[in-house]
Amino acid sequence: MRPLALLLALAFAAHAEENRYDAFSKTIMPFIGVFAKDRKSENRAFTLKVRIEQSSDLPAELNGASAELAVQVPDKIRLHGPLLGETFTLVREDEKIWIYPGAKARALLDAAVAGKELPPAEKKFKLGEFELPFPEKQLIFLAALFTIKDLGTESVDGVECRAMDVSLMPELAKSLKADGWVGRLWIRPDYTPARLTLAKKGWHIVLRFEDVQFAKELPEETWAPSSAEAGDVLRLEPKEYSRFLRAIGGGK
């Protein structure tokens, strides 16, 4: 190889190696930017559809199951997916919450209350707005908190994706009690995630991102029951919503 061609090849390889942090940042920042109040992006919402490809220590029926998530700041979320052997839709719009199917959701809540698994409802409980768990000025350092290993490219659903192993910096992982966790991320050319593996010793889960969309806002019907859902909706006050989340979490 001629000297000039060799130098160009080495420069390209070095550039690609440097850009693994850029690729990771371009993948996670659109999600984080939705919650940033001082954001430059107009996107205030996102939707995604995710499927569990495989997992350990989860009920067999969850393997292959799909879930859909819609989020819009400051206070709207819709989750549709499998839960405790059923498929539920849970929606929060400001302080209004509803769940479908309502009869089954009420049965779960009542069973937890009867079994004394739940503490008394907090009468003054209120739902806050979505916000980042750290100061926004620290966003520019976010990617630097991870150790990233570039694994080259791999095809996912016929699309060449960039694969990388991602883990928290050892000191941070230790402080957060997240030692031993490793993520493997496949990134599409448009920087949306295609697949994510989360693993630690003796446990793993593989998620396939089948659709990811960002928007300034989502249609109003996103937060309303469909015609099929409207006949069996449980509406909850915020204090009861908190108890329902504890009920499905085993009282935790």
Is 138 in contact with 42 (CB distance < 8 Å)?
Answer: no
Better-scored residue on pLDDT, 31 or 238: 31
* pLDDT at position 39: 64
Q: How confident is the model at residue 251 (pLDDT cuts 50, 70, 90)?
A: low
pLDDT reading at 171 higher than 90:
no
HSE of 72, CA atoms in CB hemisphere, 13 A: 15
Output DSSP code: residue 208: E
* pLDDT at position 38: 76
Instruction: In whole angstroms, give the CA distance from residue 243 to residue 235.
Output: 13
Render pLDDT for 48-68 as a digit per residue (tens, 0 to 9): 999 999 988 877 778 889 999
Residue type, 60: A
The CATH T-level fold of domain 3-248 is outer membrane lipoprotein receptor (LolB), chain A (2.50.20)
* pLDDT at position 74: 94
Render pLDDT for 113-131 as a digit per residue (tens, 0 to 9): 777 666 666 777 788 899 8
Q: Tell me the residue length of the chain.
A: 252
Name the residue ranges covered by the structural domains of the chain: 3-248
Residue type, 135: P
